[in-house]
């Protein structure tokens, strides 16, 4: 659960992420097709060759596994899983493992591609990867979940390692699952190797700040954009009051913004005079929802996205700002803490309406950047204080923000395209230096 450590400092709550499949008005677009479209846009801007374009979008290695898990009944069931290793030109592959009934290979390929892009934008020495198992974890007992986690790691153990590929939590996987996976890997290699996986509990080599790092990274990007646009802290609406959204509310509140609306899956609440996020969180912990918080009026989730505010923060699910919603957004800035909250056509509408958007691969990259800090601490065997981590996260995010902001100015494109341009340039440079592409 969330709790304050001291004013403005906040603690743990590993949370499941949500799948990233983009829907277009003419139907469901396969996530990997969407990734390919993003690459072809960049290819046009940077005048990339066919080889460069292909290299950016094609995974280096795809591992498909089918592995047995003994259920509590004694029956043995075969599960299918994947690990997609997209690009490792800048460092080991990096990306989460999701347990979800709808995991499919194209989605894992797209997510692995986006991880390569995100790590390059953040400027951390990682490539991108992603893993998944087709399973409904809610149907498994704790023992079965442990057996599944260990079974998955046994199959991919030859392909992962602190210098090869570093998994992490994602949808329906958490720090307990990372602990079992770490233990299985260390049993196989017969030595300690905490850097093989991130998102671990603090007691097994996790990092301070990781729990609120995603929100902190987004808040730092917002601070920098407001500085560039000469805007002062203003009114904020946040969709989603889970890990990312609630920490974002606390951080921005402590930075003198006025949080006028928040929402969760049960609906939204508004108070134009401002909400105290810590009190809203207490209410949510007591009642299961932000709805019903005293002094605030209830609104629908769509209403929250259309409120007249300075900053809108989607921090819930993918595909929330659709073509229709984009016309109603009444904010100066959108900060995408969620993965893929804006559909590609909505993106274009926001751009035409002059709304500034800090894209997910930049806005939520504070999370993977702090995973990088966790890995760096594991490799050194020396652990940092909360102030140490924050002191490194802030300049890292500022530098990533500046790279993206400057690229979007230079190429006269929106910040999402600017972010992909930055990432593609860094990855292609590393590929050229390695001799995998012509200089």
Catalytic positions, please?
130
Residue among 199, 271, 281 nearest 246 (CA): 281
Among 16, 125, 161, 234, binds ligand NAD (CB under 6 A): 16
Contact region for ligand NAD (CB under 6 A) — 23-31, 175-183, 263-271, 393-401? 263-271
- CB closer to ligand NAD, 153 vs 238: 238
Helix H or strand E segment including 279: helix 277-287
Task: Let me know if 237 is exposed, middle or buried by CB neighbors in 10 A (0-12, 13-18, 19+).
Answer: buried
Give the SS3 label for residue 141: coil
- CB closer to ligand NAD, 174 vs 186: 174
Residue 207 binds to ligand NAD (criterion: CB under 6 A): no
- CB closer to ligand NAD, 85 vs 320: 320
HEC secondary structure over 42-89: HHHHHCCCHHHHHHHHCCCEEEEEEEEEECCCCCEEEEEEEEEEEECC
- CB closer to ligand NAD, 316 vs 427: 316
Question: Pseudo-torsion of CA 394, 257, 385, 178, nearest 10°?
Answer: -90
Residue 324 binds to ligand NAD (criterion: CB under 6 A): no
- Rounded least distance, CB 229 to ligand NAD, Å: 24
Residue 177 binds to ligand NAD (criterion: CB under 6 A): no
Strands of the sheet containing 297-299, edge to edge, are: 297-299, 267-270, 258-264, 235-239, 311-314, 333-335, 356-358
- Rounded least distance, CB 116 to ligand NAD, Å: 15
- Rounded least distance, CB 10 to ligand NAD, Å: 13
Phi first, then psi: give them for residue 196, nearest 5 degrees: -75, -20
Among 173, 214, 342, 377, binds ligand NAD (CB under 6 A): 214
- Rounded least distance, CB 54 to ligand NAD, Å: 28
- Rounded least distance, CB 84 to ligand NAD, Å: 17
DSSP codes, 182-221: HHHHHHHHTS--GGG--S--GGGT--TTHHHHHHHHHHHH
Q: Is 87 left (phi over 0), alpha (psi -120 to 50) or beta?
A: beta
Size of the site for ligand NAD (CB under 6 A): 24
- Rounded least distance, CB 412 to ligand NAD, Å: 28
**What mask of x and - would describe binding to ligand NAD in positions 90 to 109, judged by CB under 6 A?**
--------------------
CA torsion sign for 368, 150, 242, 204 is: negative
Among 264, 310, 347, 403, binds ligand NAD (CB under 6 A): 264
Is residue 221 within 8 Å of 335, Cβ to Cβ? yes
Residue facing ligand NAD at closest CB distance: 242
Residue 361 binds to ligand NAD (criterion: CB under 6 A): no
- CB closer to ligand NAD, 194 vs 218: 218
Residue 342 binds to ligand NAD (criterion: CB under 6 A): no
Helix H or strand E segment including 407: helix 386-410
Strand intervals (E) in 88-164: 93-100, 128-134
Interface contacts to ligand NAD, rule CB under 6 A: 15-18, 214, 239-245, 263-265, 301, 315-317, 337-339, 364, 367
């Amino acid at each position: 659960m969330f709790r304050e450590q001291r004013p403005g400092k906040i603690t743990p709550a590993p949370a499941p992420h949500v799948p990233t499949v983009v829907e277009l008005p003419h139907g469901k677009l396969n996530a990997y097709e969407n990734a390919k479209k993003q690459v072809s846009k960049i290819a046009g801007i940077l005048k990339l060759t066919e080889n460069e374009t292909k290299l950016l979008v094609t995974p280096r290695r795809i591992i498909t596994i089918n592995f047995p898990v003994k259920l509590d009944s004694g029956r043995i069931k075969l599960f299918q899983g994947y690990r997609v290793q997209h690009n490792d030109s800048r460092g080991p592959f990096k990306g989460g493992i999701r347990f979800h009934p709808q995991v499919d290979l194209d989605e894992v390929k797209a997510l692995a591609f986006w991880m390569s892009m995100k790590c390059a934008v953040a400027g951390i020495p990682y490539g991108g990867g992603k893993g998944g198992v087709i399973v409904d974890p809610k149907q498994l007992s704790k023992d079965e979940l442990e057996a599944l986690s260990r079974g998955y790691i046994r199959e991919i153990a030859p392909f992962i390692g602190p210098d090869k590929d570093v998994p992490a939590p994602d949808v329906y996987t958490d720090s307990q699952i990372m602990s079992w996976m770490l233990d299985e890997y260390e049993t196989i290699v017969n030595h300690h190797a905490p850097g093989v996986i991130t998102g671990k509990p603090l007691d097994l080599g996790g990092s301070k700040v990781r729990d609120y790092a995603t929100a902190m990274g987004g808040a730092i990007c917002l601070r920098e954009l407001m500085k560039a646009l000469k805007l002062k802290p203003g009114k904020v609406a946040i969709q989603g009051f889970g890990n990312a959204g609630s920490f974002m509310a606390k951080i921005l509140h402590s930075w003198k913004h006025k949080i006028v609306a928040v929402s969760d899956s049960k609906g939204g609440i508004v108070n134009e005079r401002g909400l105290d996020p810590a009190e809203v969180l207490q209410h949510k912990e007591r009642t299961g929802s932000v709805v019903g918080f005293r002094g605030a009026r209830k609104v629908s989730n769509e209403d929250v996205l259309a409120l007249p505010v300075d900053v809108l923060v989607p921090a819930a699910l993918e595909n929330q700002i659709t073509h229709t919603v984009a016309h109603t957004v009444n904010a100066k800035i959108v900060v995408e803490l969620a993965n893929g909250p804006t559909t590609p056509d909505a993106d274009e509408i926001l751009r035409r309406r002059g709304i500034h958007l800090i894209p997910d691969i930049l806005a939520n990259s504070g999370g993977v950047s702090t995973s990088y800090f966790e890995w760096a601490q594991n490799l050194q065997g020396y652990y940092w204080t909360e102030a140490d981590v924050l002191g490194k996260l802030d300049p890292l995010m500022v530098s990533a923000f500046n790279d993206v902001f400057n690229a979007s100015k230079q190429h006269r494109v929106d910040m999402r395209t600017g972010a992909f341009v930055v990432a593609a340039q860094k990855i292609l440079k590393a590929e050229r230096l390695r001799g995998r592409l012509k200089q």
